[in-house]
Amino acid sequence: MEFVLITRHCRMVMIRKLFLVAFCLWIPTQVVGRTGNTTVNATVPSRPSVVKIGVLFTINSVIGRSAKLAILTAVDDVNSDKSVLPDTKLEVILHDTNCSGFLGTVEALQFMEDEVIAAIGPQSSGIAHVISHVVNELHVPLLSFGATDPTLAALQYPYFLRTTHSDSFQMYGIADLVDYYGWREIIAIFVDDDNGRGGISVLGDALAKKRAKITYKAAFSPAASTNDITDLLTGVNLMESRVYVVHVNPDTGLRIFSIAKKLGMTTAGYVWIATDWLPSVLDSSERVNPDTMNLIQGVVALRHHTPDTDLKKNFISRLKSRKDKETTSFNSYALYAYDSVWLAARSFDVFLKNGGNLSFTNDPTLQQTNGSSLNLSTLRAFVGGPEFLQTILTTNFTGVSGQIQFGIDKNLVHPAYDILNIGGSGFRIVGYWTNYSGLSVETPEILYKKPPNTSTSNQKLSGVIWPGGISTTPRGWVFPFNQKPLRIAVPHRVSYQEFVAKDKDTGVKGYCIDVFEAAVKLLPYAVPLKYILYGHGDRNPDYNDLVNQVAQNNFDAAVGDITIVTNRTRIVDFTQPYKESGLVVVVPVKEIKSSPWSFLKPFTAQMWCVTGAFFLSVGAVVWILEHRINPEFRGPPRKQLITIFWFSFSTMFFSHRENTVSTLGRLLLLIWLFVVLIINSSYTASLTSILTVQQLTSQIEGIDSLISSSQPIGVQDGSFAKKYLINELNIAESRIVTLKSQQEYVDALQRGPRNGGVVAIVDELPYIELFMSNTNCKFRTVGQEFTKSGWGFAFQRDSPLAVDLSTTILQLSENGDLQKIHDKWLMRNDCAAQFNGVDSNQLSLKSFWGLFLVCGIACLLALIAFSIKVFGQYMKFIPEDEVVDEEVPPTGPRRKLRSSRSFKDIIDFVDRREADIKEKLHSQKKKRRRSSIDDQPGSSPYTPSSS
């Protein structure tokens, strides 16, 4: 980036220094004197007869052998196509860099003397960096089909255009691949040149976004010997990661796998990911040597994706049919090289149609000074270069490699890669990657017709056969052969040593240690361990400091009763919690003597009132239903009132003597007796519990009342509870009392706040359960847990052990071993059953309103049915005193006069025995029948009818 703000004069100085370093390049004087068709400030006709382009690459290389024939074919096709550059011949000036950066730079300057409109190449990113300064000065677009270094896209190189895809996309594809298989650490093996460094730098950034990283960059020089590479891979093999990304040159890359094979690094457990260089080698060979295929079995590689169109098939067929071919197969770079020539031709045709002219001029900054022998004046700048560059950037056509169109970032649109799995005598495609939808088994052409979807659930690949012939995804890491045992920090506790403590024989012991070692035994690999006590042993260590020591690489892990809290998860990785935890409040309790009125405590006052009201109500309803038909519910009013009260409350003990004879009464009594059964059972259970219950000695009922008070609170030394109370609950630090042992817990709670103690202690539930058990349940918790967390083992960030141990901890939980370890160390008296306070045993109406509702509805329905029945009888019943026979003439009609009825008459009717009512109704029915016969014509009302 040092050239972004430098003036043209400064760039001239830069070029001069480059030439001096290049042993004072000599340009022949006869070239200086050449005039030709293009002269200084001379403007050629708008349709020149000849247009020249320069081509620069290494011909004798994997890429060059494919690209050369493709470029020559493209020139022939352009010249034979009358729709592009009509009446103009396209000439190509071909230069071979011979894998030399110096020679490539010199030859680039040489074909610039021939006034080319565009330069195609180079395939080397290092040469492209240098030549980009030249084309910037001479305004000649540089179309590179092989330079994939991401840094070439910088604003420093405006005339550099990449006609292939940048390695930036490829590296993001590899990062998605690494994330897909769950790996977190990789080792990058690459050539230490511009292309290698640029690609690996982008890979590191891409992996960081996936919470992965490059643990080691294994770089070697382009001229590295076999011994150099052997030493490099030997050191790599001693490291932890087993995922290798190989980003090298196609011509020398197979040496990596040859040496790795000898070192035993291509067996099961290893993962090899190659960039596009490896498919380029395979595609360039019609039949790969079996020995070569044995080196790369199980390798996953990325290859430029080009649509499988008829245009592409016909082009490949034409290349294979040419007699001057130097290879029998062609890689993707042949397609990009072919399209590069067509891009230059099509763009220049549009440039001419838009009024552009082919003209060159001397650059005033390129003048010889101080007797220099460098003939820089022969280099001419393309006058229409800026306009031609913009024309290229707006060109859009379909080539043999796919759509040729530049985005706003000057990269080709729709970057895509095939993901290959090499096996047997060839390879197969297991998926595709695009920056549009990530990993997929569908072709990019189909994906681009759908909405973009890079969600995790959408990422899919077919099955891969890995090195060693295994189909299961390798773990991606192992313990290195020269690795020292893991440094495991263990808190040196002085309290609650059942969880973790120092041991004379084994070094450490306790519940947490047994869980950790049981989980480690389930791992499919051996883990060497070394326990290191953390703390001085006179007090519990600060657990936040312990976690920080792991984050700072002073320990590899921390094992113990370590709570997983937010500020700790930011700096280390925790395993799956192996024990649930949470902060609770503990207070003292005392035995309470039974009260003379304890029998009233099972029910609340509201419950007592409602229960008594229902006893009376049900008794009254049963009396109403039975009064007319049951002699036991009849008699004087005083007797009936006593019967109602007696029947109501005697049902509580199922000792009622009165029989129910009505159907409604029996149904109602059945429901009521069921309600009484439930009430009696609940009352008995609650009273039994109350008579043996313990009661609080303080007014603290939970965390809320503790916050609102101003009394001192005890916390465990070294626990996170202190900072939590201060920072999260805003409790004054002056109220916090640090307690170091269980005996201090007991003393502080028994003394209480008035005698220098504490009103309550806030600590994690596992400690409190053990504390209450060890003190014979003299203390109890109040309220609910006000935090939810768990205990886990802490590891350094991105440690694969954290993931693997999480799996084994779940296995311990599923097979019951976790509970067995708990019972071994922590099984004590269960105080939870004894900590049921009076309030929790007192039953309220809320627990029984359903029963009362059913009973009330039953009473109401019974009364409605009874009322309908009585009302029907009443409407048919006519008392004798309501019928008056008037004296009328013998031939006159008879009339019945009915007086108005009072409420007293209705009550009297209801109070009558039902048998009397039925008898009376039957008698009245007979009279009405007889009366209707007497009223018939021809009969005398005073003469009885003859039988």
How many whole angstroms from its chain centre is CA 600? 55
Angle at 413 between CA 407 and CA 416, to 5 degrees: 150
Nearest 5 degrees, angle CA 207-CA 211-CA 217? Answer: 45
Return the ∠ at Cα 443 (arms to 442 and 446), rounded to 5°: 90
Strand 426-434 relative to strand 438-440, pairing: antiparallel
Q: Which residues of 531-558 are buried (b: 16+ CB within 10 A; e: fewer)?
A: bbbbbeeebbbbbbebbebbbeeebbbb
Q: Can you tell me the distance from the alpha carbon of 363 to that of 800, in angstroms, rounded to the nearest whole number?
A: 60
Among residues 315, 322, 294, 190, the alpha carbon closest in space to that of 245 is found at 190
Nearest to 633 by CA among 613, 648, 614: 648
Q: How many residues does the chain have?
A: 947
The answer on pLDDT for 842 being more than 70 is no
The phi, psi pair for 212, rounded to 5°, reads -120, 175
Task: Give the lowest-confidence range in 268-277, 382-391, 881-890.
Answer: 881-890
Residue type, 927: K
Name the residue among 118, 174, 177, 124 with its Cα closest to residue 148: 124
pLDDT for position 655: 57
| SS3 label, residue 464 | coil
* Calpha distance 335→415 (Å, rounded): 15
Q: Give the model's pLDDT for residue 627.
A: 67
Question: By three-state DSSP, how is residue 304 classified?
Answer: strand
Question: Which of 37-46, 555-564, 618-627, 768-777 has the least mean pLDDT?
Answer: 37-46
CB 404 within 8 A of CB 397: yes
Q: Where are the alpha helices (DSSP H) in 711-758?
A: 721-727, 742-751
For 797-826, b/e burial (b = at least 16 CB within 10 A) is eebbbbbbbbebbbebeeeebbeebbeebb
Residues ≥6 apart with Cβ < 8 Å to 715 = 721, 722, 725, 736, 737, 738, 739, 761, 762, 763
Distance CA 572, CA 552 (A): 10
Output 63 or 874, whichever has higher pLDDT.
63
Average pLDDT over residues 455-481: 89
185 has pLDDT over 60: yes
pLDDT at residue 580 tops 50? yes
> Judging by DSSP bridges, how do beta strands 794-795 and 486-491 pair with one another?
unpaired
| Joined tokens for residue 12 | 């001239």
SS3 187: strand
Burial of 321 (0-12, 13-18, 19+ CB in 10 A): exposed
Paired strand residues for 214:
186
By C-alpha distance, which of 80, 140, 107 is closest to 358?
140
Highest mean pLDDT among 399-403, 454-458, 673-677: 399-403
Per-residue model confidence as pLDDT tens digits over 809-839: 999 999 999 999 998 988 766 676 555 444 5
- CA dist., res. 198 & res. 521, Å (int): 43
pLDDT, averaged across the chain? 82
Per the CB < 8 A criterion, the answer to whether 432 and 441 are in contact is yes
- Tell me the one-letter amino acid at 321: S
Residue partners of 114: CB distance under 8 A and separation at least 6: 52, 54, 93
Q: How far is CA 689 from CA 344, 594, 676, 842, in A?
A: 95, 11, 20, 10
Query: Among 437-451, 591-605, 606-620, 718-732, where is mean pLDDT lowest?
Result: 591-605
- Give me the mean pLDDT over the 56-80 stretch: 90
Measured in degrees and rounded to the nearest 5, phi and psi for residue 524 equal: -80, 15
Query: What gap in Å lies between CA 379 and CA 34, rounded to an integer?
Result: 12
CA separation for the pair 119, 56 (Å, rounded):
7
**Could you tell me which residues come within 8 angstroms of residue 778 by beta carbon, excluding any fewer than 6 positions away?**
588, 589, 746, 772
Please indicate whether residue 183 or residue 526 has the higher confidence score (pLDDT).
Answer: 183
How many H helices and E strands in the chain?
A: 31, 32
User: 592 pLDDT band (50/70/90 cuts)?
Assistant: low
Higher pLDDT, 678 or 784: 784
Count of beta carbons in the 10 Å neighbourhood of residue 722 = 19
Per-residue pLDDT of 350-404, as tens digits, reads 999 998 888 888 876 665 555 555 566 677 889 999 999 999 999 999 999 999 9
Share of the chain above pLDDT 70, in %: 79
Residue 897 pLDDT > 50, yes or no? no
For residue range 725-740, what is the model confidence (pLDDT) as tens digits?
999 999 999 999 999 9
Q: List strand residue ranges (DSSP E) for 570-712, in order.
A: 573-574, 579-581, 583-591, 694-696
pLDDT in tens, 484-538: 789 999 999 999 999 999 988 888 999 999 999 999 999 888 888 999 999 988 8
> Which amino acid is it at 591?
E
Tell me the residue type at 719: S
Gap between the Cα atoms of 789 and 792, Å rounded: 10
The pLDDT, as a whole number, for residue 13 is: 35
CA atoms within 13 A on the CB side of 703: 16
Across 681-691, average pLDDT: 74
pLDDT band at 427 (very low <50, low <70, confident <90, very high): very high
Q: How confident is the model over 731-772, as pLDDT tens digits?
A: 999 999 999 999 999 999 999 898 999 999 999 999 998 998
Q: Where are the alpha helices (DSSP H) in 448-487?
A: none
User: Does position 35 have pLDDT exceeding 70, yes or no?
Assistant: no
CB contact set of 593 (below 8 Å; sequence gap of 6+): none
Q: How far apart are CA 715 and CA 771, in angstroms?
A: 13
Tell me, what's the pLDDT at 21?
36
pTM of the model: 0.66
Helices (H), 190-250: 194-208, 226-237
Residue type, 428: R
For residues 594-609, one letter each, b for 16 or more C-beta atoms within 10 angstroms of the residue's C-beta and e for the rest, the string is: eeeeeeebbbbeebee
